[in-house]
Amino acid sequence: MTTNLRIAFLPLNDVAVLAVARERGFAEEEGIALDLVRTTSWATLRDRLVYGQVQAAHMLAPLAVAVTLGLSQQPAALAAPYKLGVNGNMLVMARDFSAALEPDPARRLADPVGTAHDFASAIGLWRRKPVIGVVHRFSSHALMLRYWLASAGIDPDRDVVLRVLPPSLTVEAIHAGEIDGFIAGEPWGSAAIDSGRAEAVAIGERIWQRGVEKVLAFRETWLDENPETADRLLRALARAAAWCDEPANHEALADLLADARYVNQPADLILRALSGRIIPRAGDAAVAAPDFVLFSREATSFPWRSQALWIYSQLVRWGMVEHSPENAAKAGAVFRPDVFRRALAGSDVPMPGASMKLEGAVASPLAVGSRKGDLTLGADRFFDGRVFDPDRIDEYLKGFSQSH
């Protein structure tokens, strides 16, 4: 018997796992006919999910938390049992703005501390408050950009203008001079760089080495009522994710994503992020960023509750939600490691023993407790060296208010 599932997505590289599950037969092997619904805004993706036009969505992790906390239009309890990727974002700025930064883009990317301080000085030299595009208020991109700017004493609500626009309009907006730069998932940063108007200024992987990004989000009620279907889907995705991480498959993956039904951008632009070879300025040599985006290795897809709580801590930090034990509990419960464990118990996916961990504490690859298989976590440091302990959110937040 075949189960039909509709999943909404936005045209971005990290729809890879879903696209491969469909196109390479992994979903079919589990008896699932996947219908992937291309969507142009996060608002519409959210509406389709909340009102049941789709069963699941390729969603910004902070948006899943925000919808559940009632911070966005259409509040609803969402559940994320699977992460579709880690990292994958890039901050690019118009060439005349980046002229005030370190001239060698490769060195800029390698030194996020120095670049943040250069950025702070560049703001003073710019003719007005720089306007930086973000894809959504509740996006990992916006939270990481805020984190990075604030480290250099920049108040992201006062010293710059953060303008929300969808990834597919970023390149056009930088051409029209409506924004001075933007942070978005690939391939949009590379597309702006290729057009000659922008240069890479920071990449997500160098801000937080293992940054939470897109999740597969369900309505909580649907997930609870359809455990067997959800399990089959997660098993299909786990195999698709392993295929996506295999370097030998990157070219085929880029070709697949280039299709008009998915990202609809040239395959060579898409390939840069997948293969970890970023061209930071048109005509420059590629910079190696081997962890630019991860789909499977290091249990990438495991929904660590501590990561949902890190998102929550940042929402509190920026005054987007009132800090209370109830809100923290609700936010943490959006990530569902219990479902992940149930679905993948019989597979060869390494299974972390814990559901929470310190975020940002691993300085070099570390073998950790695992219920089966060998699990090595990659370095996951924040560029400023802070460590997030999900049991001590208040202390973590106090650390920020003292520093600026």
Q: How many residues bind other proteins (CB under 8 A)?
A: 23
Q: Which residue number, 54 or 287, has a Cβ lying nearer to other proteins?
A: 54
* Nearest approach, Cβ of residue 215 and other proteins (Å): 18
Choosing from 22, 48, 58, 281, the residue that interacts with other proteins (CB under 8 A) is 48
Of the candidates 197, 196, 208, 189, the residue with the CA atom closest to the CA atom of residue 92:
189
Given a contact cutoff of 8 angstroms between Cβ atoms, the answer to whether 74 and 50 are in contact is: yes
Residues in 89-128 that interact with other proteins by CB under 8 A: none
* Whole-angstrom distance, CA of residue 402 vs CA of residue 404: 6
| 264 contributes a contact to other proteins by CB under 8 A | no
Per CB under 8 A, 220 contacts other proteins: no
Q: Measuring CA to CA, how many Å separate 214 from each of 81, 121, 168?
A: 11, 32, 17
Tell me if 175 contacts other proteins by CB under 8 A.
Answer: no
Q: Which residues of 169-207 are buried (b: 16+ CB within 10 A; e: fewer)?
A: bbbebbeeeebbbbbbbbbbbbbbbbeebbbbbbbbbbb
| Binding-site member from 57, 109, 150, 165 for other proteins (CB under 8 A) | 165
Q: How far is the CB of 169 from other proteins (least distance, A)?
A: 6
Return the structure tokens found at 172. 């056009």
Q: Are 161 and 52 within 8 A, CB to CB? A: no
Nearer to other proteins, 176 or 367 (CB): 176
Task: For residue 221, state whether it binds other proteins (rule: CB under 8 A).
Answer: no
Residue 129 engages other proteins in binding (rule: CB under 8 A): no
Q: How far is the CB of 186 from other proteins (least distance, A)?
A: 18
How would you classify residue 205: left for phi > 0, otherwise alpha for psi between -120 and 50, otherwise beta?
A: alpha
Only segment of 48-56, 213-221, 349-357, 360-368 that touches other proteins (CB under 8 A): 48-56
- Structure token digits, residue 22: 């469909």
**Choice from 137, 197, 206, 219 touching other proteins (CB under 8 A):** 137
Shortest Cβ 170–other proteins spacing (Å): 10
Residues 72-91 that bind other proteins (CB under 8 A): 72-74
Residue number, 165 or 309, with CB nearest to other proteins: 165
Q: Judged by CB under 8 A, which stretch of 36-44, 249-257, 340-348, 356-364 contacts other proteins?
A: 36-44
Query: Are residues 133 and 179 in contact, defined by beta-carbon separation less than 8 angstroms?
Result: yes
Burial class (CB in 10 A: 0-12, 13-18, 19+), 328: buried
Give the type of residue at 321: V
Number of H helices, E strands in the chain: 19, 18
Question: Does residue 43 belong to the site contacting other proteins (CB under 8 A)?
Answer: yes
Instruction: Please report, as ranges, the residues that interact with other proteins according to CB under 8 A.
Output: 40-44, 47-48, 51, 53, 72-74, 135-137, 163-166, 168-169, 176, 178
